[in-house]
Amino acid sequence: MKRGTERADVVIVGAGFTGLSAALELKKAGIDFLLLEARDRVGGRVESRRNGLGERIDSGGQFLCEDMPELMSLVEARGKTFVETFVDGDFITHPSMPVEQAERTYVTAMAIRGRMNGIEPDDPSIAGLTVAAWLDRQKDPADAKAAFRSMIEGLWCLALEKMPLWHLIDNDRRITNEVPELQYSLRETMQSLADDLAGDLGDHVRLNEPVMRVERARQGMRIVSGSGVIGAREVLIALPPATAAKLDFQPALPAALKNALDVWESGAVIKILVRYARPFWRERSLSGMVMWRDLPGLFACDASKDDDHAALVVFIGGPLALLCRKLGDAALRDEVTAKLADALGPDAADILDFSQRDWTDDRWSGGAYSDLIVDVTAREAERTIVAGAPPVHFASSELSPSFPGYVEGAIVAGRIASRKIIANVQSAIATSASGS
pLDDT confidence band for 96 (50 / 70 / 90) = confident
Task: Give the pLDDT score at 381.
Answer: 98
Binding-site residues for substrate, in ranges, read 315
Span 251-269, average pLDDT? 97
Nearest one of 407, 403, 412 to 185, comparing CA atoms: 407
Bridging pattern class, strands 90-94 and 310-317: unpaired
Q: Which domains does the chain have, with CATH numbers?
A: 5-49+59-64+188-264+373-434 (3.50.50.60), 88-179+268-358 (3.90.660.10)
- The one-letter code for the residue type at 347 is D
Cα distances from 261 to residues 23, 53, 171, 265, 302, in angstroms, run 23, 41, 17, 10, 37
pLDDT in tens, 275-301: 999 999 999 999 999 989 889 899 999
Do residues 158 and 372 lie in contact, with contact meaning Cβ atoms separated by under 8 Å? yes
**Helix axis angle, 142-156 relative to 99-117, nearest 10°?**
60
The answer, yes or no, to whether residue 436 has pLDDT greater than 60, is: no
> Of 1-5, 187-191, 430-434, which one has max mean pLDDT?
187-191
pLDDT confidence band for 218 (50 / 70 / 90) = confident
Rounded Cα gap, residues 272 and 268, in angstroms = 14
Span 372-398, average pLDDT? 98
Residue 145's contacts (CB-CB under 8 Å, 6 or more residues apart) are 109, 112, 135, 138
pLDDT in tens, 124-144: 999 999 999 999 999 999 999
State what percent of residues in the chain have pLDDT above 90: 87
Task: Give the pLDDT score at 433.
Answer: 74
pLDDT in tens, 376-386: 999 999 999 99
Task: Give the pLDDT score at 434.
Answer: 72
The answer, yes or no, to whether residue 327 has pLDDT greater than 90, is: yes
Span 401-423, average pLDDT? 98
Binding-site residues for FAD, in ranges, read 18, 37-38, 211, 398
pLDDT confidence band for 208 (50 / 70 / 90) = very high
Task: Give the pLDDT score at 432.
Answer: 75
The answer, yes or no, to whether residue 317 has pLDDT greater than 70, is: yes
Task: Give the pLDDT score at 428.
Answer: 87
pLDDT in tens, 7-27: 999 999 999 999 999 999 999
Binding-site residues, in ranges, read 18, 37-38, 211, 315, 398
Q: Round the average pLDDT of the chain to a whole number and report it.
A: 95
Choice among 309-318, 370-379, 385-394, 421-430 with the minimum mean pLDDT: 421-430
For the stretch 352-367, what's the b/e string if a residue is b when 16 or more beta carbons lie within 10 angstroms of its beta carbon? eebbbbbbbebeebbb
Task: Give the pLDDT score at 61.
Answer: 95
